[in-house]
Chain A
């Protein structure tokens, strides 16, 4: 994280000109890719963007709010099911997608109220959100009986709903987005949420949130209601996870309890720690790396992808706790300093302090 600040400026500062260039260039590349590639590539990339939003919601909450929430997976599943149930009942999807964002936000508000206003410690927060996810998955799994119907939609327990409707074009409900359309929607939503969160961090809200992460008691003594800020961040991240879940439903026309089981919760954590939780771009890059890796492992004939993912997770926690991007940043910084030091003919500068030295005890 320290390396990222030195190289790219503090995440709370207004982004510099090259950041806008980077976003513009990336958007341009993202928007012209479909012209050169086939549907299979569009499908593979869309799912990276969709999971990227999910990882972004966790990375934002964890890296900048100091709250590690496994509830993101629960909100993801909730968003997917909300979209499916509303869309199938009313054959209308624009409002269904809105609801897929709104309902997880309401659930996050209630759940977050009990946890954050109960002032439970960070560890308990993490474990409770994990337990909520596990129990929600079990509850959905238990709905295989035909009695479990919302409106006209049978929830089908562990088989999942495989008739999730396509996303209608909001201004032309007769038409739906197809593969390439879904690609564009997913990409644009991801870029918007990334830019939105990045700019949000520069506002007073974002600065207070980071202040609370650094020292909750001190921020409270300065007059900020830490619990309110944390709850707001939790609700916001819940909505983003819900949006991602709704898009997942659109992407595969399928929602299932697997969306919120322990394995998918683990994959999101892996995306975030591989990319680096101290940045917003980290979770997106991590999602890309891990998705490509798992796809490759799947085709390479490794029977159990979990086996490899488990090892990757252990390796990152033990060896690169900062994630890939900040570690690369650290390496670049080290080289830069050496080059400059040699040019001045002075002593070799000391190695830059690492995060572990600066990081507070969690």
Chain B
């Protein structure tokens, strides 16, 4: 019985991480069709902002929110300086954001040095039989699902969400109906960045911060969003479920690297069978 609970926890935790790291990309790549290779560096930036605000004595949860806001603002700046010229040139967004990613890693290494610096672990542990599970990880799973549900509700049930979805589907028509599409693109990119930064802050206590930490998550995020298919949020949920379960089980029994390889193989097989992604045959949804 306790074993089953521990397995469930492992799988849930792994799914939670997948959702956290790919949610921002689901908006930026899935909805806006901007391949943001600097996504991992946005996560890194969120983790660093969280680190410095907690060191300044701010409560961790407040620091995480500040990190989200900070990366959101950074995202808006990036959109103004770089991305706004590249809409529709999808390959160029990939190359330009890759340059940005190199630049950010270089900058952070120069300013803060290459060494690791961790945010303190939060909360205590709970005991399941002989196994101890950090409470924080359980909270992380809850936060991941909550963020996904909140984003879904925002897009599905609010007027702002309706405008954003309309603009992404047909910018010309949206503009004709009086929507400021430039502002809309800018804010959506900022929102995606903010989610990414917040995810970075939430992840920070479980791994050490270092300038190259983004590369740990970039592969996970892209596999998830691509395999999800054309419905960014639902696709991300299903793909996270599938890959999170694969990763959780394989890493639990073998090693983390094997878990990642298993996820990659699963994704390649999946794309051979369903080239349009998991939601390829879904007619509508979000």
Contacts and interface: CB of A to CB of B under 8 A. Distances in A.
A-B complex is real: yes
Contacts of A142: 255, 257
B103 A314 contact: yes
Contacts, number: 121
Interface string B78-114: 0000100110111110111011111111110110000
A118 B101 contact: no
Contact of B106 (A120, A310, A321): A310
Given A126-B94, A131-B219, A139-B257, A314 B35 contact: no
Given A310-B101, A318-B85, A304 B215 contact: no
Contacts of B106: 304-310
B275 interface: yes
A240 B268 CA distance: 24
Interface string B52-96: 000000000000000000000000000000100110111110111
Contact of A313 (B35, B98, B104): B98
Given A130-B222, A135-B261, A262 B35 contact: no
Task: Summarize B's interface: helix, strand, loop or mixed.
Answer: helix
A76 B273 CA distance: 29
A318 B89 contact: no
Given A310-B100, A310-B106, A318-B82, A114 B264 contact: no
A244 B261 CA distance: 25
Interface string A101-126: 00000000001001101111011101
Contacts of A305: 106
Most buried by A among B35, B95, B110: B95
B222 A68 contact: no
Interface in B180-226: 215, 218-219, 222-223, 226
A135 B104 CA distance: 22
Contact of B95 (A117, A119, A135, A317): A317
Nearest to A113: B272
Q: Give the bracket for the number of chain B residues in contact with chain A.
A: 35 or more
A217 to B, nearest CB: 16
A273 B95 contact: yes
Given A306-B103, A306-B105, A138 B35 contact: no
Interface string B251-282: 00001010011001001110110010000000
A314 B99 contact: yes
A209 B162 CA distance: 43
A303 B105 CA distance: 12
A361 B261 CA distance: 34
Contact of A362 (B89, B99, B101, B104): B89
Contacts of B82: 314, 318
A312 B219 CA distance: 24
Nearest to B214: A262
Interface in A326-362: 361-362
A123 B90 contact: yes
Nearest to A311: B103
A269 B271 contact: no
Contact of A266 (B102, B110, B223): B102
A281 interface: no
Given A134-B218, A362-B89, A310 B94 contact: no
A120 B109 contact: no
A206 B107 CA distance: 43
B268 A128 contact: yes
Given A118-B272, A318-B96, A307 B107 contact: yes
A262 B110 contact: no
A135 B96 contact: no
B95 A269 contact: yes
B186 to A, nearest CB: 18
Interface in A231-290: 261-263, 266, 269, 273
Contacts of B101: 262, 310
Contact of A126 (B91, B218, B219): B91
Nearest to B90: A123
Contacts of A361: 88
A107 B215 CA distance: 24
A266 B215 CA distance: 13
A193 B261 CA distance: 33
A304 B267 CA distance: 35
Interface string B136-179: 00000000000000000000000000000000000000000000
A157 to B, nearest CB: 10
B49 to A, nearest CB: 20
A4 interface: no
A262 B271 contact: no
A132 interface: yes
Closest 5 CB pairs of A and B: A310-B103, A307-B106, A313-B99, A310-B102, A306-B106
17 contacts: A114-B272, A119-B275, A120-B275, A127-B35, A128-B226, A131-B219, A131-B264, A132-B264, A135-B260, A306-B102, A306-B105, A309-B99, A310-B103, A313-B95, A313-B99, A318-B82, A321-B92
Interface of A: 68, 111, 114-115, 117-120, 122-124, 126-128, 130-132, 134-135, 138-139, 141-142, 261-263, 266, 269, 273, 303-315, 317-318, 321, 361-362
Given A114-B268, A269-B95, 13 more contacts: A122-B91, A123-B91, A126-B94, A132-B264, A134-B218, A135-B260, A142-B255, A263-B102, A266-B102, A304-B106, A310-B99, A313-B96, A318-B85
